[in-house]
Structure 1
Amino acid sequence: MPVNPRDLLAELIAIDSVNPDLVPGGNGETEIVDFCTEWFKRNDFEVHRLEQRPGRPSLVAVKKGTGGGKSLMLNGHIDTVGTASYDGDALKPEVEDGRMFGRGAFDMKGGVAAMMVAAAKATERPLRGDVIVACVADEEHGSKGTEEVLTRFTADAAIVTEPSHLEVTLAHKGFVWFDVTVEGKAAHGSRPELGVDAIAKAGHFLVALEQFSPTTEHHLLGKGTIHASLISGGEEASTYPSSCKITLERRTVPGETPAQVEAELTAILDHLTATVPDFRAELTRTLARDPFEADHDAEIVKTLIAGLGTPPVIRAEPFWTDCALLDQAGIPCLLFGVDGAGAHAATEYVDLASLDRLTEILTGTITDFCG
């Protein structure tokens, strides 16, 4: 039988599911998938375990409908960031002043608990459409979990239960990562006429980067941003550095593409090559995730908003989520989740009233959309 989402959340928090791609030696998702598997089986769901990457499973639980209805996927990630920086016992859920504390309480085991309980409650009576619950691995690093789920499952619509403070999130930024390798020429520090200082040349690029401003502007997200995340170069104090590597992150808004961003950076580097003596650099794109914007008129958006009972707050998020992957797969979706604070922080909590409210709203949305 369905349990109280507060009780389920406490059990989920107590399971270590630190992403090992973020924290070497992290526990990963195996233990929490084992727990969720048994929970869904007790609630009469058909359970599928996906584990293309050994030790990094995701789970898809399905309650098939009677036929003729629309299918809905609820998606939430079960991995967390590390616990070492948490203030206290990150795996010991504690309740105080209407809040539950613990690693993942806000990001995003609260959303996972709500969608699990809502799916079970909504399907106590048969619905016409299928209800699909995806508890996915690896969202905190590479989103390999949702990518794997989408090779096997689809739906007529989806809700991602990332925390949104019970506000309807219809857009978020994407990102593109680049490496810029500025080339110099090694030489002894006493022979400046033979050397080219790659680090000093990289400084020209960093100044140009600080002066750069994207042109595309989104009505909810504003403009994209860019920053230098990492820098390395040189061998020793007495040698001119032969290279300097800079890693960049460019946050993108709807309407911007990785190719467009790469062209912008290429133009900056080409200008420096033409105007700065001995400037040479190579640009390499390493990872790109597209921004997301929902169709405001999509049926799932209208259905969820109709169930709120009050005029919705429409918002956008600066961070990336698996909504973009679902959207790219042709599944209309939106983001809607709990209130709270502390994602990736030393103290993390979920507002328990919002957890209850989220469960209620999701239950109604599932019933209305699939029934």
Structure 2
Amino acid sequence: MSLPNFEQSLSQLIAIPSISSNLANEDQSNHQVISLLATWFESLGFTIEVTPVPNTRNKFNLLAKLGSGEGGLLLAGHSDTVAFDEIGWNSDPHKVKRKGGRLYGLGTCDMKGFFAFILQACQGLSVNKLTKPLYILATADEETTMAGARFFSQSQDIRPDAAIIGEPTNLKPVIMHKGYMSHKITVTGKSGHSSRPSAGINAIEIMHQVIGKLINLKSKLGLHYQNQAFDVQEPTLNLGVTRGGDSVNRICGQCELDIDIRSLPSMEDEEIIYWLTDALASVVEQYPGRIRIQELEPSSPSFHLEKNSNLAKLAEQLSHQSCCAVNYATEAPFIQKLASQTIVLGPGSIDQAHQPNEFLAEDQINTTLMILTQLINKYCLTQET
């Protein structure tokens, strides 16, 4: 089988829609992307395992393996993209457009493009030359629930020496990121005619008190927790979405607030939940049975790899950039359960991710291929790890 070159493979991946969304009418299967990757890597001699991801809308993980034995290297990424607004795009999001030294398209940097790089780096590899296995992982639903990575970490028993997650970091090694959790706070009041306020209980007014407590909590978290490795050094609490009321002349009977909290690596989920429930305790006591807190999506843990680890040092050497911390979340904490030395390192910038006119800079192509080739040589072609 004749395999495509880098730009051809990138174009074929971008052409297949694979949007992940919490909205059923926008959510799309990644099966075609997984099938295309399976075809390519199988032609290179990899053994292929395609696995349905439970509790998803027809989503799949792919694990490709070349070679045998213990240890080795895992190159990982997600096969889905976020939704897009056509109005903001200057070109078709599902067609790669080259202009001004950039390759535009939905998923070029976040992060279907990483698989195009892996495909090129793997061509010419011979299983007879490998002393340790090379694994390629493509996951599902990273942009929503991270269901693919969660399931993979629970269902697989591979133990590679190192893992690289190719999120867009501008090829800067990321060894630390914040955790993420989201909650819905629902206030149930009692509706009635606005001319008789005493006949009802206004849910918006109660939510006003809830928001005040959350703003105080936000300040307290900043005072109690700091990490100078991050440019936003404190945990964050964001008031994201509010919904309430149905008519201007009715007392609001229900109000909802969606929040997210991004925690530092030193913080545990249980600790954050304690802070949240304690902050709202007085309002809950004042309005018994009217305030409910529920998880919106399963939380994603924070991630941390020691700066003096072998992989961190090697990544700095290959990239000529220092390791850093980022505020967003990735699949790294789930992959790290299988490969203790895990790092986030990939082409493209997070500034382009989730934005109209997402692009990959062409001047990163050769450097990315060089880094991947040297990582494969280090972990799969020699006995040293």
Q: Which residue of 2 aligns with 1:111?
A: 114
Q: Deviations over 1:268-312 (max 9, x none)?
A: 2123456x788952322333111111122333323333334x3x2
Q: 2:171 aligns with which of 154, 163, 166?
A: 166
User: 1:305 and 1:3, CA in 2 relative to 1: closer, same or farther beyond 3 A?
Assistant: farther
* Contact 2:45 2:127 (C-alpha < 8 Å) held by counterparts: no
Q: Secondary structure at the match of 1:18?
A: coil
Q: 1:154 aligns with which of 148, 158, 161?
A: 158
Q: Which residue of 2 aligns with 1:187?
A: 192
User: 1:246 and 1:27, CA in 2 relative to 1: closer, same or farther beyond 3 A?
Assistant: closer
Instruction: Return the alpha-carbon distance in structure 2 between the equivalents of residues 290 and 281 of structure 1.
Output: 26
* Contact 1:5 1:356 (C-alpha < 8 Å) held by counterparts: no
Say which is worse superposed, 243-252 or 147-156, in terms of deviation.
147-156
User: 1:196 and 1:279, CA in 2 relative to 1: closer, same or farther beyond 3 A?
Assistant: farther
Q: 2:93 aligns with which of 90, 93, 110?
A: 90
Q: Deviations over 1:29-53 (max 9, x none)?
A: 1111121111111111111111134
* Contact 2:21 2:144 (C-alpha < 8 Å) held by counterparts: no
User: 1:245 and 1:112, CA in 2 relative to 1: closer, same or farther beyond 3 A?
Assistant: same
Identity of paired residues, percent?
Answer: 23
* Contact 1:115 1:161 (C-alpha < 8 Å) held by counterparts: no
User: 1:278 and 1:55, CA in 2 relative to 1: closer, same or farther beyond 3 A?
Assistant: closer
Q: 1:133 aligns with which of 136, 151, 167?
A: 136
Instruction: Return the alpha-carbon distance in structure 1 between the equivalents of residues 128 and 307 of structure 2.
Output: 30
Instruction: Return the alpha-carbon distance in structure 1 between the equivalents of residues 210 and 289 of structure 2.
Output: 10
Q: Secondary structure at the match of 1:283?
A: strand
* Contact 1:252 1:291 (C-alpha < 8 Å) held by counterparts: yes
Q: 2:211 aligns with which of 203, 206, 228?
A: 206
* Contact 1:197 1:240 (C-alpha < 8 Å) held by counterparts: yes
Q: Which residue of 1 aligns with 2:51?
A: 50
Aligned-residue Cα RMSD (Å) equals 2.4
Q: Deviations over 1:217-274 (max 9, x none)?
A: 1222211111122222234333322332211111111111221111112122123456
Offset at 1:169? 0.6
* Contact 2:202 2:253 (C-alpha < 8 Å) held by counterparts: yes
Q: Secondary structure at the match of 1:347?
A: coil
User: 1:223 and 1:25, CA in 2 relative to 1: closer, same or farther beyond 3 A?
Assistant: closer
* Contact 1:111 1:355 (C-alpha < 8 Å) held by counterparts: no
Q: Which residue of 2 aligns with 1:36?
A: 37
Q: 2:276 aligns with which of 241, 256, 265?
A: 265
Q: Which residue of 1 aligns with 2:252?
A: 241
Say which is worse superposed, 24-33 or 103-112, in terms of deviation.
24-33
Q: Which residue of 2 aligns with 1:317?
A: 326
* Contact 1:183 1:243 (C-alpha < 8 Å) held by counterparts: yes
* Contact 1:116 1:133 (C-alpha < 8 Å) held by counterparts: no
Q: Secondary structure at the match of 2:40?
A: helix
Alignment of 1:273-284 (within 5 A): 273=284, 281-284=291-294
* Contact 1:119 1:133 (C-alpha < 8 Å) held by counterparts: no
Say which is worse superposed, 315-324 or 149-158, in terms of deviation.
149-158
How many correspondences in the alignment? Answer: 366
Q: Which residue of 2 aligns with 1:231?
A: 242
User: 1:3 and 1:189, CA in 2 relative to 1: closer, same or farther beyond 3 A?
Assistant: closer
Q: 1:351 aligns with which of 341, 361, 364?
A: 361
User: 1:55 and 1:278, CA in 2 relative to 1: closer, same or farther beyond 3 A?
Assistant: closer
Matched, 1:367 2:377: yes
Aligned AA (1:251): R
Instruction: Return the alpha-carbon distance in structure 1 between the equivalents of residues 288 and 130 of structure 2.
Output: 69
Q: Deviations over 1:313-337 (max 9, x none)?
A: 2222211110021124453200000
Offset at 1:133? 0.2
User: 1:41 and 1:5, CA in 2 relative to 1: closer, same or farther beyond 3 A?
Assistant: same
Instruction: Return the alpha-carbon distance in structure 1 between the equivalents of residues 287 and 39 of structure 2.
Output: 65
* Contact 1:121 1:363 (C-alpha < 8 Å) held by counterparts: no
Offset at 1:105? 0.6
User: 1:186 and 1:21, CA in 2 relative to 1: closer, same or farther beyond 3 A?
Assistant: closer
Q: Secondary structure at the match of 2:9?
A: helix
- Extract unaligned runs of 5+ from structure 1: none
Instruction: Return the alpha-carbon distance in structure 2 between the equivalents of residues 236 and 302 of structure 1.
Output: 60
